[in-house]
Amino acid sequence: MAKLIDGTRNKLSSRRGFLKAGLALGGMAATTGAIAGEGDPAILEKKDWVQYTGDGVDARPYGTPSEFEEHVTRKNVAWLTADPVSSVNFTPLHELDGIITPNGLCFERHHAGIAEIDPAEHRLMINGLVEKELVFTMEDLMRFPRENRVYFLECAANTGMEWHGSQLNGCQFTHGMIHNVMYTGIPLKYLLEEAGLKTNAKWLLPEGADASGMTRSLPLAKALEDCLVAFKMNGEALRPEQGYPLRLVVPGWEGNMWIKWLRRIEVGDQPWHHREETAKYTDLMENGKARHFTWEMDAKSVITNPSPQAPLLHKSGHTVLSGIAWSGRGKVDRVDISLDGGRNWRPARIDGLSLDKSMHRFYYEFDWDGSPLLLQSRAIDSTGYIQPTRNELRAIRGTNSIYHNNGIQTWHVKSDGEVENVEVS
Which residues 6-25 are close enough to bind other proteins by CB under 8 A? none
Single out the segment in contact with other proteins by CB under 8 A; choices: 5-13, 30-38, 319-327, 392-400: 392-400
Is the torsion defined by CA of 141, 147, 150, 154 positive or negative? negative
Is the torsion defined by CA of 16, 18, 19, 25 positive or negative? positive
Measuring CA to CA, which residue among 16, 82, 80, 6 is closest to residue 46?
6
Residue from 95, 97, 140, 351 touching other proteins (CB under 8 A): that is: 140
Site string for other proteins, 160-179 (x = CB under 8 A): x----xxxxxx--x------
Instruction: Please report how close the Cβ of residue 60 comes to other proteins at its closest, in angstroms.
Output: 30
Instruction: Please report how close the Cβ of residue 9 comes to other proteins at its closest, in angstroms.
Output: 38
- 346 binding other proteins? (CB under 8 A): yes
Of 19 and 355, which has the nearer Cβ to other proteins?
A: 355
Site string for other proteins, 247-276 (x = CB under 8 A): ----------------xx-x-x-x-xxxx-
Exposure string (b/e) for 174-201, b if CB count within 10 Å is 16 or more? Answer: bbbbbbbbbbbbbbbbebbebbebeeeb
DSSP assignment of 241-282: GGTTT-EEE-TTB-GGGS-SSEEEEEEESS----GGGTTSS-
Of 240 and 268, which has the nearer Cβ to other proteins?
A: 268
Instruction: Reply yes or no: is the peptide bond before residue 306 cis, omega within 30 of 0.
Output: yes
Of 144 and 363, which has the nearer Cβ to other proteins?
A: 144
**Side chain identity, residue 354:** S
Residue from 289, 313, 415, 416 touching other proteins (CB under 8 A): that is: 289
- The interface with other proteins within residues 72-91 (CB under 8 A) comprises 75-82, 85-88
Measuring CA to CA, which residue among 271, 320, 329 is closest to residue 300?
329
Single out the segment in contact with other proteins by CB under 8 A; choices: 46-54, 211-219, 245-253, 312-320: 211-219
Taking the C-alpha atoms of residue 103 and residue 242, their distance in angstroms, rounded to an integer, is 9
Number of residues lying near other proteins (CB under 8 A):
105
Of 18 and 272, which has the nearer Cβ to other proteins?
A: 272
